Amino acid sequence: MANAITEEAVQKTVYEALPQFGVDEGDITREATFEDLDVDSLDLAELSQIIEDEYGVALKGDDVGKIKTVGDAIDLVIQKGS
């Protein structure tokens, strides 16, 4: 059963996932770009899996290419889930 999509919940999921990929917790903000955080396409594929597992929303294909910042990813999940 997918969890309810709220901005707070999705942000928590993303913020908790990124350190697994080697991102410094202190560097994570909504404005931080994935490039600056050294989060690449393989990391985003893993993040997508975590998001889909929790919220039933897939971050795949063209959508992912447009994501530049942590905030973009959170917003996209909310947009796709609504």
Partner 1 sequence: MSREVVITGVGAVTPLGVGARTLHERWSAGVVGITDGKGVATEFDPTEHLSVKEVRRADRFTQFALVAGDEALAEAGWSEELPYEGDKIASILGTGIGGIGTLERGKEILIESGAKKVPPLSVPLMMSNAAAAAVSMRFKLLGPCHGIVSACSGGADAIGAAKMMIESGLVDAVVTGGSEAALTPLSNAAFGALDALSKQGISRPFDKDRDGFVMGEGGAILILETRENAEKRGAKILGTLKGYGASADAYHLTAPDKDGGGPSRAMKAAMLNAGITPDDIVYVNAHGTSTGLNDAAETKALKMALGDRAHEIPISSLKSSIGHLLGAAGAVEAVATILALRDRIAPPTLGLENPDEGLDLDYVPHQAKPLDIGDKPAIAISSSFGFGGHNAVLALEAA
- Residues lying near partner 1 in the complex (CB under 8 A) are found at 20-22, 38, 42, 45-46, 49, 52-53
Q: Cβ of residue 8: shortest distance to partner 1, in angstroms?
A: 25
Q: What is the DSSP string of 12-51?
A: HHHHHHGGGGT--GGG--SS-BTTTTT--HHHHHHHHHHH
Distance CA 41, CA 63 (A): 12
Catalytic residue among 24, 27, 38, 40, which? 40
Closest separation in Å from C-beta 22 to partner 1: 3
Is 24 an active-site residue? no
Which active-site residues does the annotation give? 40
